[in-house]
Structure 1
Amino acid sequence: MGRRRGSFGWGRVIGCLGPVLLAACGPAEEVRAPEPRPVRTVTVTKRETGDTVALTGRIAAQDVAALGFRTAGRVMERPVNVGDRVTAGQTIARLEPQNETNAVRSAQADRAAAQAAVTQATNHFERQETLLAQGWTTRALFDQAKKERDTAQARLDSAEAQLKTADDLLGFTVLKADAPGIVTTVGAEPGEVVQAGQTIVRLARQGGRDAVFEVPAQVLRTAPPDAVIAVSLTDDPAVTATGRVREVAPEADPVTRTFEVKVGLDAPPEAMRLGATVTGRLRLDAQAVIEIPASALTRADQAPAVWIVDPRSATVALRNVQVVRFDPAKVAVAGGLDVGEVVVTAGVQALHPGQKVRLLGARP
């Protein structure tokens, strides 16, 4: 009885599992491949470019001198102010001269005493010389008189040198312009105590004007040598002048990473005053470059890159490129692309290497 019940139970289990096992052994449902992603593209070409670069700068003097006293003291007067025109030799400032005047008087007194000593020693020497010739004195007394005369003369020379030094120090209390120009900065007011060499007045000497610009490194690399630069007033473009690069800073500004470039202007008009804002325009050399839309640019390995479409397999691959110039609309590429290659310009953020794509405008 027990055997019959067990056989009956296994049969029912097998009978129930049969349809399930047969269903599992049937053919699996086929997985559909993803649709190619539609993208916009552009074919790489080269074209001649010679862009005009416009930069904003300012007018500055070619020769600027910081004038200061050669001695310390208290400023008594400074008759010039910012913007004043001065001539060569014009007094710019004075120091109180009491100490220097007293030093001159003392040196004059020392020289007078030394002169009197020389006169006395010379007379004594001449008497001894006459007496020695007549045999009325000894050689020793004659030599002593000669020594006294030479010593007195040396003291006179020293006194005259000290007087010259005192006169120079007195002259140093008066600061004069060494050339005609315009006062651009003042560094001390009357009543202030200043040190030797401290800037009292900054003078823009006449004789030349510069247009000073902050120029990016890429413009310096592509600018033609000895190029003529057109400069005009920003608020009045009708006021113009031309010039050539006179000086380029050897080191970039640590903040802006640009280089200061000074353009010497040829006969600038009077309206181009010091400090005026000007615009300089430079035509770059024409050269064949590859330009692509800025939307095509992405990054790979911390460097600029673009997606390249393989026309045979319709798949994309990421490639690094070397960018030399860019703006919001287009990018100039110096390396990494060849003429005829197809570059993705829209949809770059949703791609991955080896992905199939479909060019917009082509048949699906």
Structure 2
Amino acid sequence: MARYRTIIIILTIVPAFLLAACGRESAETAPVVRPVRTVTVAKSIAGAPLSFTGRIEAEDEVALAFRISGRLIENNGKTGDRVQPGQVIARLESQNELNTLRQAQAAVAAAQGQLTQARNHFDRQQTLLAQGWTTRVNYDQATQAQQTAQSQVDAAEAQLKTAHDLVSFTELKVDAPGVITAVGPGAGEVVQAGQMILRLARQDGRDAVFDVPAQFFRSAPSDPQISVSLTDDPAVTAHGRVRQVGAQADPVTRTFEIKVGLTNPPSAMRLGATVVGRMEMDAVPIIEIPASALTRANQQPAVWIVDPASRTVSIRNVDVLRFEQAQVVVSQGLDTGEVVVTAGVQALHPGQKIRLLGSEQ
């Protein structure tokens, strides 16, 4: 009896487990419908100007420095002063250089005296040799002494020239007209050779300098013309073209520095003035979608495309022309009228059933 009772219990429990398993399988295979938001793709014309804020700088700016080290006794430069070529703007203490110059002058005088003596001796030996009153050996020695004395004079004169140069190096002169934009050490300080004493903006031209993002280079025309105007007076304008592009992005802002050479800038555009640069974009049809619609597939930008008939989604790679704060400009991969998912993209997979938010379906 116990054996029959066990068989009856087993036959009663097994069907219950089978029914529960079938229930779970049915629940697992039921499709999950994801709620999403979408947008319909439409093309627009892009031609709005890009604007950047920058500053006016000298096209040619140099740092003036002494060629030798020494104690600075005079620095007459002031920021904003206009200077002319040949003007002395700073001096070093020159006592040591003057002493070296006097020593070189004395060495030249001594060498010239020895040369005069050697020449006179050579002339006598030459005359005596012609008359047969001296030997060839004495004549050769006189010749060598004269050549040695001449070499000593040449060396002394070279040292004198170097001493003159050292004295001249104690004065810092301007080599071109311009405006002083920065002043370094003051009188009384000891400076090293090559240390900046003054920074001079030469009056050869002016640049408008801007820090622009990388997308500027992807969307800019091949040879853009930039319109530059003063921030505090938009009526003061000038035009220019990109003259120089920074080779490396700033490590903090990740922007690139560009220099726009200005053509005949007005005098009101002084060095350091804040300006606004505007660049007209080419009017081309583009597709803009919300930045939230962008995801990645195959290590490339992609979006989810909705099939209106089956209400399912599929992923597609796209080419991004540029990124903006809230929009993404797509150059290839989308066409007018297609429906793109803009919210809920992280919870989707290919063939996923979707439901539009705000819809009962």
1:356 maps to 354
Task: Output the TM-score relative to the length of structure 2.
Answer: 0.84
1:75 maps to 72
2:337 maps to 340
Whether 2:217 is the aligned partner of 1:242: answer no
1:6 maps to none
Q: What CA distance in whole angstroms lies between the structure 2 residues aligned with 1:58 and 1:350?
A: 43
Residues 1:274 and 1:288: Cα distance change in structure 2 (over 3 Å): same
Please tell me the root mean square deviation across aligned C-alpha atoms, in Å: 2.8
Q: Which residue of 149, 152, 156 corresponds with 1:155?
A: 152
Q: What CA distance in whole angstroms lies between the structure 2 residues aligned with 1:114 and 1:156?
A: 5
Q: What letter matches 1:332 in structure 2?
A: V
Q: What letter matches 2:135 in structure 1?
A: T
Whether 2:300 is the aligned partner of 1:297: answer no
1:216 maps to 213
Whether 2:145 is the aligned partner of 1:145: answer no
Residues 1:310 and 1:79: Cα distance change in structure 2 (over 3 Å): same
**Secondary structure of 1:356's aligned partner:** strand
2:248 maps to 251
Q: How many residues align?
A: 336
**Secondary structure of 2:108's aligned partner:** helix
Residues 1:234 and 1:136: Cα distance change in structure 2 (over 3 Å): same
Structure 1 unpaired stretches of 5+: 1-9, 11-16
Whether 2:279 is the aligned partner of 1:282: answer yes
1:95 maps to 92
* 1:245-301 CA-partner distances (Å, limit 9, x unpaired): 11111222222221111000001011111111110000122323211244x525456
Residues 1:297 and 1:200: Cα distance change in structure 2 (over 3 Å): same
Residues 1:328 and 1:97: Cα distance change in structure 2 (over 3 Å): closer
**Secondary structure of 2:353's aligned partner:** coil
Q: How big is the shift at 1:306?
A: 3.8
2:230 maps to 233
* 1:114-140 CA-partner distances (Å, limit 9, x unpaired): 111111111111112122222222222
CA contact (8 A) 1:298 1:348 kept: no
Q: What CA distance in whole angstroms lies between the structure 2 residues aligned with 1:74 and 1:330?
A: 60
Q: What CA distance in whole angstroms lies between the structure 2 residues aligned with 1:350 and 1:113?
A: 93
**Secondary structure of 2:76's aligned partner:** coil
CA contact (8 A) 1:36 1:358 kept: no
2:117 maps to 120
Q: What CA distance in whole angstroms lies between the structure 2 residues aligned with 1:87 and 1:55?
A: 35
* 1:92-115 CA-partner distances (Å, limit 9, x unpaired): 211000100000000101110111
Structure number, greater radius of gyration: 1
Q: Which residue of 126, 129, 132 corresponds with 1:129?
A: 126
**Secondary structure of 1:152's aligned partner:** helix
Q: What letter matches 1:297 in structure 2?
A: A
Percentage of identical aligned residues: 60
Structure 2 unpaired stretches of 5+: 6-11
Task: Output the TM-score relative to the length of structure 1.
Answer: 0.83
Q: How big is the shift at 1:45?
A: 2.7
Q: What letter matches 2:113 in structure 1?
A: A
Q: How big is the shift at 1:226?
A: 2.0
Q: What CA distance in whole angstroms lies between the structure 1 residues aligned with 2:164 and 2:308?
A: 91
Whether 2:200 is the aligned partner of 1:207: answer no
Residues 1:38 and 1:133: Cα distance change in structure 2 (over 3 Å): closer
Q: How big is the shift at 1:235?
A: 1.2
For structure 1, which segment, 312-321 or 150-159, has the greater mean C-alpha deviation from structure 2 after superposition?
Answer: 312-321
CA contact (8 A) 1:314 1:358 kept: no
For structure 1, which segment, 330-339 or 185-194, has the greater mean C-alpha deviation from structure 2 after superposition?
Answer: 330-339
* 1:47-85 CA-partner distances (Å, limit 9, x unpaired): 331231001111000111111111111001011111111
